[in-house]
């Protein structure tokens, strides 16, 4: 009897799983013994990591977008748009309904629909919303703000955790410092402040390094500032602890949550994220325990760090477990928490070499002491060009 794998979301994690399965099971797919189907609400894949660099004109929209059909193996059945936009997920009946009312059933389900900004979760935020987190268009608006920045107090506020790539606002702040210092040459006219919702910025060695760099570069860091209210008229931010900070220009990373359709389908935990075993990534939540349902990428449990690097390792672990399931040995391949946070502390400018580092770690092994390097900058910049043909295709 034909087995069916259904993947929801053709972003980073979903595409990797689809491509690995298509390679492994090319014979079964050709003999119609296995069907791999992937769904997405639209047909363009965006590497969101590039949004952090758009304000400094380091990548173009062409660099960070690709048509999904060029990224997904032709052995996979792909439906984008109304036939791919998930409207309801019913784990009990193993059935997914999409916007066009088509229904898909499955033996194995992979939920990889990412997360999204919830801009209404902070009162007043929409009155002064400038963010590079939500879309290409919004990242370009931040580009214009950065280009025209002539002075005053700039606040970069991370409203709450978890968010995708919590390191992105950190490197954005360093790049803004470098841009103002070395390109616009008006850094002394700008007071730059990072507002962070908790005490540490990442694991201990990461926190230690960025703290020393912020101090060296004259960036003020206000910790334990979970954003509660934006008073755009008076340019004043209030934290959940009642602390207040004034600003002239505000750049925000809004709170995030799982896609509404998954919340409405009753799949999320009390924090609004999809519950899963942190090792096997099998669904464990209010809709019961489902060993045939895997949850990965940005929508996974709140306490699994949400990064593209993590999504990649999760996709590899889930693909291996699915291979084992379909081959019939049922061995689960653990995700060991492999993740990472690419950091940039200096832009490549006429006055400075770029400096970067890709800090990596896993559940059992936090990052070791590190420093950013010229080579790290080069590797990180280069990565964006190999992302499409190596990483998304699941070749490593
Ligand atoms: C500003 C920014 C900077 C970042 N920088 C980095 C970085 O430097 N390094 C790093 O490792 N990570 C970075 N990340 C994080 C990285 O982009 C994510 O962790 C990664 O994309 C997660 O992959 P995913 O497959 O879970 O989600 P996504 O890649 O977001 O894919 C989810 C897919 O689900 C689809 N979808 C959603 N709802 C539906 C629906 N109802 N029906 C059908 N399809 C749906 C979406 O269209 C999308 O294609 C950054 C993220 C941001 C926002």
Q: Exposed (0-12), middle (13-18) or buried (19+): which is 179, by Cβ within 10 Å?
A: buried
Could you report the per-residue pLDDT of 113-130, keeping only the tens digit for each? 999 999 999 999 999 999
Model confidence at 330: pLDDT above 90? no
Instruction: Write down the residue that tokens 């990591």 correspond to.
Output: 49
- pTM, full prediction: 0.97
Q: Residue 271 — very low, low, confident or very high, per pLDDT cuts 50/70/90?
A: confident
Which CATH superfamily includes the segment(s) 3-115+258-327?
Answer: FAD/NAD(P)-binding domain (3.50.50.60)
Is residue 370 predicted with pLDDT exceeding 90? yes
pLDDT tens profile 9-48: 999 999 999 999 999 999 999 999 999 999 999 999 999 9
pLDDT of residue 289: 97
User: Closest Cα partner for 164 from 230, 239, 258?
Assistant: 258
- pLDDT of 136 reads 97
- What pLDDT does 51 receive? 98
Is residue 257's pLDDT more than 90?
yes
- At 270 the pLDDT is 87
- 126 to 232, 236, 243, 257: CA distances (angstroms): 9, 14, 20, 17
Look up the CATH architecture of domain 118-253. 3-Layer(bba) Sandwich (3.50)
pLDDT per residue over 40-67, tens digit each? 999 999 999 999 999 999 999 999 999 9
> Which atom belonging to ligand 1 lies closest to the Cα atom of 52?
1
Q: Is 314 in the pocket of ligand 1 (CB under 6 A)?
A: no
Whether 297 lines ligand 1, by a CB cut-off of 6 Å, is yes
Q: Is the CB of 49 under 6 A from ligand 1?
A: yes
Measured in angstroms, how far is the CA atom of residue 389 from the centroid of ligand 1?
17
* Residue of 66, 85, 298 with the most ligand 1 atoms within 8 Å of its CB, for mutation: 298
Domain range summary for the chain, segments of one domain joined by +: 3-115+258-327, 118-253
Helix, strand, coil shares of the chain, percent, nearest 5, are: 30, 30, 40
Name which residue sits closest to atom 2 of ligand 1, judged by CA: 49
Q: Do the domains at 3-115+258-327 and 118-253 have one common CATH topology?
A: yes
Mean pLDDT of the chain: 97
Separation CA 220–CA 199 (nearest Å): 14
């Amino acid at each position: 009897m034909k087995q069916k794998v259904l993947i929801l979301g053709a972003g980073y994690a979903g595409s990797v799983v689809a491509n690995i399965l298509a390679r492994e099971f090319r014979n079964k797919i050709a003999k119609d013994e296995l069907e791999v189907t992937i769904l997405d609400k639209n047909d363009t894949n965006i590497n969101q990591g590039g949004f952090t660099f758009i304000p400094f004109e380091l990548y173009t929209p062409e660099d960070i977008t690709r048509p999904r059909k060029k990224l997904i193996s032709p052995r996979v059945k792909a439906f984008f748009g109304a036939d791919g936009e998930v409207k309801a997920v019913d784990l009990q009946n193993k059935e997914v309904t999409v916007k066009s009312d088509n229904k898909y059933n499955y033996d194995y389900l992979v939920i990889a629909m990412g997360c999204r900004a919830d801009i209404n979760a902070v009162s007043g935020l929409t009155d002064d919303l400038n963010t590079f987190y939500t879309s290409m268009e919004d990242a370009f608006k931040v580009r214009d703000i950065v280009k025209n920045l002539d002075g005053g107090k700039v606040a970069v506020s991370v409203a709450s955790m978890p968010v995708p790539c919590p390191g992105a606002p950190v490197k954005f702040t360093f790049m803004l410092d470098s841009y103002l210092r070395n390109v616009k040459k008006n850094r002394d006219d700008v007071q730059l402040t990072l507002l962070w919702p908790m005490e540490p910025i990442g694991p201990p060695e990461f926190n230690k390094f960025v703290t020393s760099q912020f101090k060296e570069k004259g960036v003020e860091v206000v910790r334990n500032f979970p954003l509660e209210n934006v008073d755009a008229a008076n340019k004043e931010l209030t934290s959940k602890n009642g602390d207040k900070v004034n600003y002239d220009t505000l750049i925000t990373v809004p709170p995030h949550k799982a896609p509404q359709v998954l919340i409405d389908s009753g799949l999320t935990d009390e924090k609004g994220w999809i519950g899963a075993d942190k090792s096997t990534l099998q669904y464990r939540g209010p809709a019961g325990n489902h060993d045939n349902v895997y949850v990965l990428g940005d929508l996974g449990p709140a306490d699994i760090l949400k990064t593209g690097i993590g999504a990649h390792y999760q996709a590899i672990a889930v693909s291996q477990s699915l291979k084992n399931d379909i081959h019939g040995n049922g061995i689960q391949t653990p995700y060991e928490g492999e993740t990472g946070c690419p950091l940039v502390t200096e832009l490549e400018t006429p006055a400075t070499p770029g400096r970067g580092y890709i800090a990596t770690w896993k559940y059992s092994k936090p990052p070791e002491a590190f420093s950013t390097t010229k080579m790290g900058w080069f590797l990180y910049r280069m990565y964006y060009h190999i992302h499409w043909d190596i990483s998304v295709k699941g070749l490593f």
